[in-house]
Structure 1
Amino acid sequence: MWDILTIIGTIAFALSGALVAMEEDYDLMGVYILGLVTAFGGGAVRNLLIGIPISALWEQGSLFIIAIVVMSIAFVFPSLLVNHWVKFGLLFDAIGLAAFAIQGALYATEMGHPLSAVIVAAALTGTGGGMIRDVLAGRKPLFLQKEIYIVWAMIAGVIIGLNLITSSIGLIVLFLAVIVLRMMSVYYKWQLPRRHLIPITSNQDMNR
């Protein structure tokens, strides 16, 4: 199940990064770099924080090949995907979020880390790659936008960290639930509480 989630997340995020790169008119190398950063950036950040050697990423040779093949197909046949990017772009991101959040939580659980570390691993693995992608593309990071995003990854971490799910079927249900909740938060514009502060100008200070 772990391997399946990793492959699903890698394909989804690599495709997401590649399509964002083409939207920004990057060349072929830019497409590869942005796609690889999106697919593997979250895992790299997670490894640094929970004590896994960063060199462990280089042991995922097959995943790098899968990511490059997916990005190459997207680059050579953009009409198959780009025309539907507005409709399916968020879905790809939701799939990557769900797959990597669960995978990161499982990773931390296997290492015997406490619940707090499992939640952080889920959040960073699920959102880290997308965050780096958006920063490199000059965009506002998706998880900082108004719709709920990172919370779903954290909830997945809580559920796995508390051992509420122990079977493969349960993980599949959780995977689908995170995708559905993420898409519903976009469709229904669910938001977390917000506060907007208006700075007091010097003239206002003087009047007071």
Structure 2
Amino acid sequence: MTWDVLSIIGTIAFAVSGAFIAMEEEYDILGVYILGIVTAFGGGAIRNLLIGVPVSALWEQGLFFQIALLSITATFLFPNSILKQWKRWGNFSDAIGLAAFAIQGALYATSMGHPLSAVIVAAVLTGSGGGIVRDLLARRKPTVLKDEIYALWAILAGLIVGLQIASSPVELYVLFGLLVACRMLSYMYKWKLPIRSIRQPNM
């Protein structure tokens, strides 16, 4: 049950996030659907390739594809007053997708008996893979590669699930809420990871 709930939450959140960005970039309706679907399922597809799950498993998620299509359609039909609040809605939606899919990816790898390192990789790829593909298709610098804190929260999810610190449904939902809150706080207060630039100053 927890698995299904997290999958549904992540699918809706990332489908909406992809659709928002597509409309911000003024893509046509086909582009909106493509970017929404890629964002919702891209991370899971990349994860499956790396942990040995057949790619064909992606096409067995008929219900989730329907949920994603409905979410994208609803987003496309949102009134302009809501769409103008994209920055607020979009980052919150992205935080929900990141948290839900990071936990789901970690649970998936754990259920297959993979070591902790693979669980963390699965969490990161599932949580941020779709966003990376989305940003690349929208010709943006991927959020996960910026100096703001993003993938770190997916790594935290992988560690907590992989070490079985959180395993019951209640614990996983608490972890989900914690990750969403951390991501939003890191965005609102502009928490950043250390960077080092080797650019030469302009003379």
* Structure 1 residue 200: Cα displacement: 9.2
How far 1:8 moved relative to its partner?
0.1
CA shift at 1:143, angstroms? 1.1
User: Cα deviation per residue 1:3-47 (whole Å; 9 max; x = unaligned)?
Assistant: 000000000000000010011111111001000000000000000
Structure 1 unpaired stretches of 5+:
none
Residue 10 of structure 1 is matched in structure 2 by 11
* 1:43 matched to 2:33: no
Q: Size of the alignment, in residue pairs? A: 202
Q: State the superposition RMSD in angstroms.
A: 1.5
Gaps of 5+ in 2: none
Please say if 1:166 is aligned against 2:163: no
Aligned to 1:71: 72
CA distance in 1, matches of 2:114, 2:197: 36
Q: Which runs of 4+ in 1 moved over 3 A?
A: none
CA contact (8 A) 1:165 1:171 kept: yes
Query: Secondary structure of 1:105's match?
Result: helix
With normalisation by structure 1, the TM-score equals 0.93
2:187 is aligned to 186
Partner of 1:142: 143
The percentage of aligned residue pairs carrying the same residue is 61
Aligned amino acid, residue 71 of structure 2: V
Tell me whether 190-199 or 7-16 shows the greater mean CA deviation: 190-199
Between 75-84 and 171-180, the greater mean CA deviation after superposition: 75-84
* Residue 25 of structure 1: aligned partner: 26
| Greater alpha carbon shift after TM alignment, 185-194 vs 96-105 | 185-194
In the alignment, the residues of structure 1 paired with residue 172 and residue 82 of structure 2 have an alpha-carbon distance, to the nearest angstrom, of 28
Deviation at 1:100, TM superposition (A): 0.2
Structure 1 residue 186: deviation in Å? 1.1
User: What is the CA–CA distance in structure 2 between the aligned matches of 1:10 and 1:81, rounded to whole Å?
Assistant: 20
Q: TM-score, normalised by structure 2?
A: 0.96
Is the Cα contact below 8 Å between 1:102 and 1:157 reproduced in 2? yes
Q: 2:82 and 2:72 mapped to 1: Cα distance? A: 11
The Cα offsets for residues 144-194 of structure 1, whole Å up to 9 and x where unpaired, read as 222100000001000100111121000001001101111111112111111
Task: Map residues 69-148 of structure 1 onto 2, 5 A cutoff.
Answer: 69-79=70-80, 81-148=82-149
Alpha-carbon distance in structure 1 between the residues aligned to 2:78 and 2:94: 20
Q: Distance in 2 between matches of 1:55 and 1:26?
A: 29
SS at match of 2:107: helix
Read off the aligned partner of 1:32 and give its amino acid letter. Y
Quick one: which amino acid aligns to residue 122 of structure 1? A
CA distance in 2, matches of 1:118, 1:198: 35
Q: 1:80 to 1:114 in 2, by over 3 A?
A: farther
**Alpha-carbon displacement from aligned partner over 1:109-168 (angstroms, at most 9, x marks no partner):** 000000000000000000000000000001111112221000000010001001111210
Q: What secondary structure sits across from 1:163 in the alignment?
A: coil
Asked if structure 2 preserves the Cα contact closer than 8 Å seen for 1:74 and 1:81, the reply is no
